[in-house]
Each structure stands twice: as C-alpha cells, then as structure tokens.
C-alpha cells in the first residue's frame, strides 16, 4: 500500500484506483469525477487556516497538534482505509507544484510523518500544466466555493 498527498483537482484521481481521503476543512463544491472515500479530521488544520504566512511558524503549531494525536492513532486510521485495498491519497486544495513558496498542511503532514516514522509520503503525479501566477490560499479556495472555514512506497503495515 502506498500513501500519497494530492490536490482535489488532480485528474489522476478520476481513474478511481485510489482510496481518496479528505484532510481539508471544506469539501469541494464542484463535481470531482471520483468519490471521496472518507476524511481524517485529525489531519485537518482547524484554527490554523491562514493564521501563519511563514511555513515554519505554521509547521511548529501543526506539529505540536500532530504530536498530541500521535503516530499510533493516525496509523490506525490509515489501517482502516487500507481495507479498500488501494493506495491512499490525502487530499486538500493547494497546487504545491508552483514552487517552494507553495505549501500547505498536507506537505507539513508528510514532513511530520517522515520525521516520526521514517516513511516518505510523495505527492501523487499530476499531469495538468502548472498555472503560474498569484498564490492561491486555502482561504481563497474556500471563499470561492462559499465554504466558511469552521513515488516512494510507504508500507502501512
């Protein structure tokens, strides 16, 4: 079983060969072309959305939260999704392919997971052209959808 991160808009997900798991605060309001198989509230950035401009500041608070939740609890949730028998993709909105200034909580989670388990979580390949331009934030995406905020292999076993 492989664990990936990606954005909802990645057309690779339309192949429906992955277990798709939402870790964003909001659910997309557009037709995805695939079914979301679940969500992991423990990985959602409650109270942190656009609180920090600098990745290191965000990461510090998010890591503290993840440390309180713990690897065992998160691994147990991955084990629950493994029952689908497909690679798992953790999803949120940002297109982080634009450059190092683009980051989101899913990249922070992947970094934390590697620091705790030694396992690397890669971004699922995305075949769409990269749109250069202004940085889009989770808050902008949620506002556009009228939502109010309230490959390295990974062995899961």
Which of 122, 100, 101, 125 has its CA nearest to residue 113? 122
Sorted by sequence, the CB contacts under 8 Å of residue 134 that are 6+ apart come out as none
Q: Return the pLDDT at 98.
A: 80
Sorted by sequence, the CB contacts under 8 Å of residue 12 that are 6+ apart come out as 6, 124, 125, 126, 127
Q: Return the pLDDT at 70.
A: 98
Which of 72, 71, 49, 73 has its CA nearest to residue 61? 49
pLDDT tens across 85-139, in order? Answer: 999 999 999 998 887 777 889 999 999 999 999 999 999 999 999 886 644 444 4
Is pLDDT above 60 for 149? no
Residue bearing the bigger pLDDT, 24 or 50 = 24
pLDDT band at 19 (very low <50, low <70, confident <90, very high): very high
Cβ-contact 109, 122 below 8 angstroms: no
Give the distance, in angstroms, between the CA of residue 120 and the centroid of all CA atoms in the same chain. Answer: 14
Q: Return the pLDDT at 143.
A: 41
Is pLDDT above 60 for 152? no
Residue range 43-70: average pLDDT? Answer: 92
Question: Whole-number mean pLDDT of the chain?
Answer: 85
Cβ-contact 105, 91 below 8 angstroms: no
């Amino acid at each position: 079983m492989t664990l990936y991160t990606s954005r909802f808009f990645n057309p690779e997900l339309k192949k429906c060969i992955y277990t798709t798991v939402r870790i964003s605060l909001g659910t997309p309001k557009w037709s995805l072309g695939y079914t979301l198989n679940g969500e992991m509230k423990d990985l959602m950035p409650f109270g942190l959305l656009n609180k920090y401009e600098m990745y290191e500041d965000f990461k510090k608070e998010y890591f503290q939260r993840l440390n309180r939740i713990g690897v065992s609890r998160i691994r147990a949730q991955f084990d629950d999704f493994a029952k689908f028998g497909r690679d798992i993709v953790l999803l949120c909105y940002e297109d982080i392919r634009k450059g190092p200034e683009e980051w989101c909580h899913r990249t922070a989670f992947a970094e934390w997971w590697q620091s705790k388990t030694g396992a690397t979580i890669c971004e699922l390949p995305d075949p769409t052209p990269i749109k250069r331009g202004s940085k889009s934030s989770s808050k902008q995406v949620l506002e556009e959808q009228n939502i109010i905020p309230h490959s390295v292999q990974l062995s899961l076993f």
